[in-house]
Amino acid sequence: MAGSEGRHRSVATPDGAAPDAPSATLVVRGGRPLRGSIRVPGDKSISHRALILGALADGPEPTCIAGLSACADVRATRRALEHLGAHIEGEPDGEVRIHGRGPQGLAGPPVRLDCQDSGTTMRLLAGLLAGQRRRFRLEAAPSLQRRPMNRVVEPLGRMGAELRALGEAGRPPLEGEGRALRGADLRLPRASAQVGSALLLAALNAQGETRVHYPAPVRDHTERLLAAMAAPIAWDARSSTLVGPVRHLARPGGGAITVPGDLSSAAFLLCAAAILPGSRIRLPGVGINPGRTGILDILRAMGAPVAVSGWRQSAGEPLADLATAAAELAAIGLGQPLVPRAIDELPLLAVLGARARGRTVLIEAGELRLKESDRIEAICSGLRRMGADIVATEAGFIVEGPGELRGAELDGRGDHRIVMALAVAGLAATGETRIRGAERIGDSYPGFVEDLVGLGAQVHLEPSD
C-alpha cells in the first residue's frame, strides 16, 4: 500500500503550536478518498505516564522512551517535571532519556507549575506531589480553569493530602503541600482513569493499602507501567490495589519503552476513511489497550471493516496494525459501559451518525460537557451548520442519517478534538469547510494536517485574521 509510513515527524506548523500561538483556520475540501499508510504520533496518555514514572525510577541509568508524543499537553508535563528537578534529554521525534530520582525523589522547595490546558497534567501532578515533601501550586490556562478538579481533590483528601482548589466550584488553580499519606479504600463516582492514576501515584508514598474502585472499566496504562517497574500493584476491570510506601521502582520496560501510536489520534483517520467512498488506509503500531478500543467496537458495530493484525507488546502495552476501508454504515445506540472506553472519540460518533443509515443515539455521556469545551453542544452546533439532522440531549445526542453535509464556516470552540471531528465531517461534505481555532490541534495531534495530506486529503492551515 502506498503512503508515507515511517517514524512520525512533528513539523513546525500551527497544528503543533503552543496554546498561546497565533490563531489559525483549518480549510478542508471534501470529495477525495483517503489511501495509504501513516504512522500516527505516540499515545498521549501513555506519554504522560511514561515521563512521570520514568522520573520516579531508581538507578543511575536513564529510561529511554521512543515514540513519545510531541503534543502540547505532554510538553506541559515534561516542563513541569523538569521544574521539579527531573533531568530529561532529547526530543520527542527521536529518543527521550529521563534520569529517575526514585519514588521520593521529587521533594524540594516550593514550586509553581504551569499545566497550561492539560487536565491530565494537572490531575496526575496533583496525585504525584501529594506525597512528595514540598509545597506546590498548579496553574492553568483559561480553558482548564473551567474544568472541575474536586473529583481528584476529594479522594486525595481521604488519603490525608493537603490539597485545595482555589477557583470557584472546585476549579483550578490547585495548591497543596506534600506530606505522608495513608492508604484508603476509594470508590469513584465516575469511571476516570486520570483520577484513578492520580490516586495510584499518591499511593506510592502512602502507608498501607490503597484500593481504587471504578463504576465501569477504564484504561489501565498506569497499572501496566507500574507492574513493569515491579511495583506491588494488582488490578482487574473494576479496581486497582497498590501497597505503599514503595521504596524502589525498577526502570520501566528494563529501561527502554516504545510508546504505541495514539488510538485517539488514529480514530480521526479511521472514521474519515469509513465515510469517504473509495478509501482504504493502514495505521501501523497503534495502541490497542482494552480500555481504549471503544471506537473500534463502534466502527465495527456500524459496519466498517476494521482489521487488527501484528499484535505485540511494549512495556506491557498491547499494540497492533489497524486497517479499514469505506463502507455503508448503519446507525447504532450507545451508552454505558462503552462510553468510558470511547470518551475522547464520541464527537466522531456524531459525524459517523450523520452519514449512517437510521437514527444514531448517544446516552449517558454527560462527561462530554466538562471537557475543553461542551463537546455535546459544540459538535451538534457544528454539524447542524453543515446540514446534519442532529439534536443535543442532556447527556448525548440524536442524529438522523444519512444526510448530505455541506461546507460551512465553523467554530472549533478552542477544543482540539472538536476541530478535528469537524474536519472529518468536512472531508465528507460538498464544498469548502473552514474551522476556526485550528491552532489547538497540537494539544493532542501534532501533524494531523500533514498526515491527512499524506493520505490524499485536500486540507491546509491558514492564519486567522
Domains of the chain: 14-42+260-463 (3.65.10.10), 44-257 (3.65.10.10)
Range 71-86 average pLDDT:
95
**β-pairing verdict for 95-99 and 63-66:** antiparallel
Instruction: Tell me the C-alpha distance between 388 and 391, whole Å.
Output: 9
pLDDT, greater one: 444 or 308: 308
Structure confidence at residue 20 (pLDDT): 54
Q: How many CB atoms lie within 10 A of CB 311?
A: 10
Q: To the nearest whole number, what is the mean pLDDT of the chain?
A: 93
Q: Is 446 helix (H, G, I), strand (E, B) or coil?
A: coil
Range 16-32 average pLDDT:
78
Amino acid at 55: A
Range 80-99 average pLDDT:
91
Instruction: Tell me the C-alpha distance between 253 and 232, whole Å.
Output: 16
What confidence tier does 14 reach under pLDDT thresholds 50, 70, 90?
A: very low
Cell numbers linked to 340: 468510558
User: Contact at 8 Å (CB) between 98 and 63?
Assistant: yes
Range 308-323 average pLDDT:
93
Structure confidence at residue 4 (pLDDT): 41
Q: Is 238 helix (H, G, I), strand (E, B) or coil?
A: coil
What φ, ψ does residue 365 adopt, rounded to 5°?
-125, 40
What confidence tier does 21 reach under pLDDT thresholds 50, 70, 90?
A: low
What confidence tier does 10 reach under pLDDT thresholds 50, 70, 90?
A: very low
Task: From the candidates 43, 117, 321, 344, give the one annotated as an active-site residue.
Answer: 344
What confidence tier does 405 reach under pLDDT thresholds 50, 70, 90?
A: very high
Structure confidence at residue 8 (pLDDT): 35
pLDDT of residue 74 exceeding 90, the answer is: yes
Structure confidence at residue 253 (pLDDT): 78
Instruction: Tell me the C-alpha distance between 296 and 35, whole Å.
Output: 19
Q: How many CB atoms lie within 10 A of CB 100?
A: 25
pLDDT of residue 1 exceeding 70, the answer is: no
| pLDDT tens sequence across 317-376 | 999 999 999 999 999 999 988 998 999 999 999 999 999 999 999 999 999 998 889 999
Instruction: Tell me the C-alpha distance between 397 and 382, whole Å.
Output: 13
Active site residue 344: yes
Structure confidence at residue 464 (pLDDT): 79
pLDDT, greater one: 218 or 269: 269
Instruction: Tell me the C-alpha distance between 76 and 84, whole Å.
Output: 12
HSE toward the beta carbon, residue 293, CA cutoff 13 A: 17
Structure confidence at residue 311 (pLDDT): 94
Closest C-alpha among 6, 8, 458, 2 to residue 265: 8
CB contact set of 320 (below 8 Å; sequence gap of 6+): 285, 286, 288, 308, 309, 310, 311, 312
Range 78-95 average pLDDT:
91
What confidence tier does 7 reach under pLDDT thresholds 50, 70, 90?
A: very low
What confidence tier does 19 reach under pLDDT thresholds 50, 70, 90?
A: very low
pLDDT of residue 17 exceeding 60, the answer is: no
Structure confidence at residue 287 (pLDDT): 96
CB contact set of 15 (below 8 Å; sequence gap of 6+): 24, 438, 439, 441, 442, 445, 446, 447, 448, 449, 450, 461
Cell numbers linked to 334: 450507545
